[in-house]
Amino acid sequence: MLALTVMSRVALKSAREIETMRRAGALVAETFRVLEPYVVAGATLKDLDRLAEEHIRKAGATPAYLGYGPRNNPFPGTICASVNEVICHGIPDGRELQEGDIVGVDIGVLLGGYYGDACYTYTVGKVRPEVQGLVDATRASLNAALDLVKPGARLGDLGHAVQTVAEGRGYSVVREYTGHGIGKRLHEEPTVLHYGARYTGLKLQPGMVFTIEPMVNLGRPETRLLGDGWTVITADKQPSAQFEHTVAVTQKGHEILTL
């Protein structure tokens, strides 16, 4: 899930804290594996939401998104389920998946006082070649940014890597929604942009933990928020894909906690 608010400074995590976050991240990854066989034509988004909640609670954790947000409009699901033109924050309702759909599933958990957060875009059966290209480019843009995470790198390097891969393949990068720091709070500093210039932005240090979660559109980058106050779609109704990992900066490089 994307940052709505952030803290005022970056909190470096201790080895003990990162170990706890490693457990939370492993549960997120495990939940994706549980869901994968059920992401098929005819399944409903509610089906996926129920399966995810059951697995997370059975592991002794709490769904991070359920009830998140303002008191007058808390998020109603365990997962965000974003189909086709939905960029992010899709509400898991009774919609049935169809052959050729793509669905971005965003999962967050709270375990041992710390959060894990990741997103994966599934394809439902065979999708159009240009949509498969979008999914592949989005995954590649995330991996390009992850490869650069190490002490001394800058956040601008990561955003530049995402932008270079996505735009180089003919797609557009969403600007309004970002990655974020994570720890005892779901959303902390720093804000992680998915575009930018090399050698700019915050310098990375060991102990920083944050998400990188590019949202890449088949068409134009503009977005539109729907009336439910959560669901964000592409303004031109073209498909959008998202991939996300939680990553820790280590002394020698990085560790992906949600791999």
* pTM of the complete model: 0.95
Residue 44 lies in a domain: yes
Residue 5 lies in a domain: no
For 203-240, write each residue's pLDDT tens digit: 999 999 999 999 999 999 999 999 999 999 999 999 99
- The 3-state DSSP class for residue 250 equals coil
Is residue 106 annotated as involved in ligand binding? yes
Residues 19, 3: Cα–Cα separation, whole Å = 23
CA–CA–CA angle 77, 78, 83 (5° rounding): 70
Residue 206 lies in a domain: yes
Tokens of 101: 């759909």
- The 3-state DSSP class for residue 57 equals helix
Q: How sure is the predictor about 7, in pLDDT bands with cuts at 50, 70 and 90?
A: very low
Residue 2 lies in a domain: no
Please state the domain count of the chain: 1
Which domain covers residue 110, as residue numbers? Answer: 15-256
Is residue 117 annotated as involved in ligand binding? yes
Residue 67 lies in a domain: yes
Residue 239 lies in a domain: yes
Residue 97 lies in a domain: yes
Cβ atoms 88, 232 nearer than 8 A: yes
Is residue 228 annotated as involved in ligand binding? no
Residue 7 lies in a domain: no
Is residue 213 annotated as involved in ligand binding? yes
Buried b (16+ CB within 10 A) or exposed e, 147-163: ebbebebbbbbbbbbbb
pLDDT, mean of residues 111-123: 98
For 59-84, write each residue's pLDDT tens digit: 999 999 999 999 999 999 999 999 99
Inform me whether the pLDDT recorded for 51 exceeds 60: yes
Q: Residue 92: CB partners within 8 Å, gap ≥ 6?
A: 45, 46, 48, 49, 77, 78, 79, 80, 81
Is residue 244 annotated as involved in ligand binding? yes
Q: What is the CATH number of the domain that holds 53?
A: 3.90.230.10
